Amino acid sequence: MTPSAGSDPSLWVLFRGQLRRDLKLAFGQPSELANPLAFFVVVITLFPLGVSPEPGVLAGMAPGVLWIAALLATLLGLEALFRRDRDDGTLEQMVLRAQPLYLPVVARMLAHWMVTGAPLTLLAPLLGGMLNLAPEARLPLMLGLALGTPVLVLLGGVGAALTVGLRTGGVLLALLVLPLFVPVLILGVSAAELASSGLDPTGPLLWLAAGASFAITTVPFAIAAALRIGVETG
């Protein structure tokens, strides 16, 4: 299994190639790129309509609403994460390659985060402003999303990889991954809430950073193992 020099690309080239390919594919379909963001905005618009347009009420629930909407928007993009590659056989080639599956998986998840988690994070303070979120809570909210959405994308990636070969993936995927999202939701919301009540949000943000480091190092192994099974099920 040792790659011989010259014939096999080095791991770094593999990583960069995978990342570039995934980003190119993502930007090749701008509508699919915009859908989770539009969903994020629409869900947030429903809350003032459904609950109350009172500025005080909105400010109180803004962190939770923004985070839950981000959670659902992340979930929305997950189903397609490995589906196309599986349908056209690319996934099989990825699995059969001599190099470890870890790096292409990290590249894929990074690309996916760059087109879902990162724009959500950038959009959040604007929507927070519309929901009357306290100005001092906007930065902790953004930091929380920046640290938390990679974890969501990675945990979601496990679910997406496990359900890749299945016809009825969508609802099952939500059932599999939403319970695992709970700690990220709690920590992210409490960072924003602490800041909006004038307290120090460092604690939960540090926990989120720890969680993100742990998830980035370990979860791709689980995704890779799940993909191997997913290839076999088809």
**Given the complex with other proteins, which of 119 and 211 has the nearer CB atom?**
211
Least distance in Å: CB of 20 to other proteins?
Answer: 29
Least distance in Å: CB of 195 to other proteins?
Answer: 13
**Given the complex with other proteins, which of 36 and 169 has the nearer CB atom?**
169
Least distance in Å: CB of 22 to other proteins?
Answer: 23
The residue among 41, 47, 39 whose CA lies nearest residue 78 is 39
| Footprint of other proteins (CB under 8 A) | 155, 158, 162-163, 165-166, 168-169, 172, 175-176, 178-180, 182-183, 186-187, 190, 193, 211, 219, 222, 225-226, 229-230, 232-233
- The widest CA-to-CA distance across the chain, in whole angstroms, is 66
Least distance in Å: CB of 68 to other proteins?
Answer: 14
Q: Quickly list H helices, the chain.
A: 11-28, 30-50, 55-78, 83-87, 90-96, 102-115, 117-130, 138-162, 169-177, 182-196, 202-233
Alpha carbon distance 12, 149 (integer Å): 24
**Given the complex with other proteins, which of 18 and 190 has the nearer CB atom?**
190
Residue type, 8: D
What does DSSP assign to residue 52? -
**Given the complex with other proteins, which of 36 and 148 has the nearer CB atom?**
148
Least distance in Å: CB of 193 to other proteins?
Answer: 7
Residue type, 155: L
**Given the complex with other proteins, which of 77 and 159 has the nearer CB atom?**
159
Report the 10 Å Cβ neighbour count for 145: 27
Least distance in Å: CB of 55 to other proteins?
Answer: 22
Q: Exposure pattern of 208-230 as b/e (b: 16+ CB <10 Å)?
A: bbebbeebeeebbebbbebbeeb
**Given the complex with other proteins, which of 114 and 222 has the nearer CB atom?**
222
